[in-house]
Structure 1
Amino acid sequence: MEKKYSAAIYPSQDVIDSVKTMKDYLKSKINWYNSCNSTAHITICEFTIDDSQIHTIKNKITKTCNTLTPFQVYLDHFGSYDNAGAFFIAPNETSKNQLKPVMKKIQEILQSLKLKKSDDPHLSIGRKLIPENLKIASQLFTTIEIDFLCKEIVLRELDPIKKQFFVIDTFEFGSNPEPEFVQGSLF
């Protein structure tokens, strides 16, 4: 049976809680909106596959995450994609430059799938907001200074009834960089 999955980076629980508080506050001002109930995360990609393939996908992610090393992510400003009605928390330039290669590696190992990719790391507060609500969000939230240790990738499955993703597996970074291949000489 085909199911929809998402690979993502989850921040620490205290960041998840802080973002939930922000989402709830925004919801109290503008009522229900897209992603008001979703857990804070940085999307890497989404894909739909037959659930019989998930074991292969998990093996690929495990192997890749084993080569990654944890690093601190600093989120220090808000941003928006006006065309998508998205309001989000963004990482500083250093963190963005550390997150992008991780996202790209996961996307590359899954490139045989039809991926809906994200190439700009961010934590969404709201999506598909109408312009007035986007303006309200940007007035409510002006400064932010949070950080977390990026140490794992989560694989999530979409619950078709709740229309929310839930975590089905976590892949910790192993800090085991792949050895460089060196051309040797026999003589």
Structure 2
Amino acid sequence: MRKNIVLTAVGAVLTGLIAVVAWGYQRIAGGPVGTNEEFRAHVRRTTWTGDAVYLALTPGPRGAPYPVQEGSSSCVDDFGFDEGDVTRDRPIYTWDLSYERDEDFRAALKALGAAWRAEGREVEKTGTGITATLDDGIRVTVQRNWYTDDPELRAEGRCTRYRDTYNDSYDYMYDKNGDGTLDEDERPGY
């Protein structure tokens, strides 16, 4: 009887240990592997979040929101965990914020920070603006561009591992406006 209890306990401990090791390997590898469609949805959520913040700025910037894709050198597989058709990308898009007066940009920053705090979000100051993590882990920053000093909004999604179905109608590298589709002018060879 005692022997059965010990064997059962050892089996449970080994099963738990295997689960913890598998979970740790997945975390080190960069998280679970999703589908190309799931990644497309994350790209759309990232740009929708940025568009929503753009439209909520008070006073609002001049012009309609138009995101521009940026690259991410931090979302790479340094250790060789990704094999075959598994790849990783981090959707990052920026919007130019055109204000007639510098005071308008500062007022929009102040109002945005207050709105985020009212929602219970942790707002951090950057060198020239503010940043917060919104839904689905999307980090939004409103600040002056480090190089041009022009106001900008930046939405950065999380680093995502997914199966890239090559020859699919979608390839993130060409999705310049973040709508989750390849428009005619975004297709390779245009």
Give me the TM-score of the superposition, normalised by structure 1: 0.31
More strand per residue: 1 or 2? 1
Which has the larger share of helix? 2
Report the TM-score, using the length of structure 2 for normalisation: 0.31
Structure of higher CA gyration radius: 2
Q: Say which structure, 1 or 2, has more relative contact order (CA 8 Å, 6+ apart).
A: 1
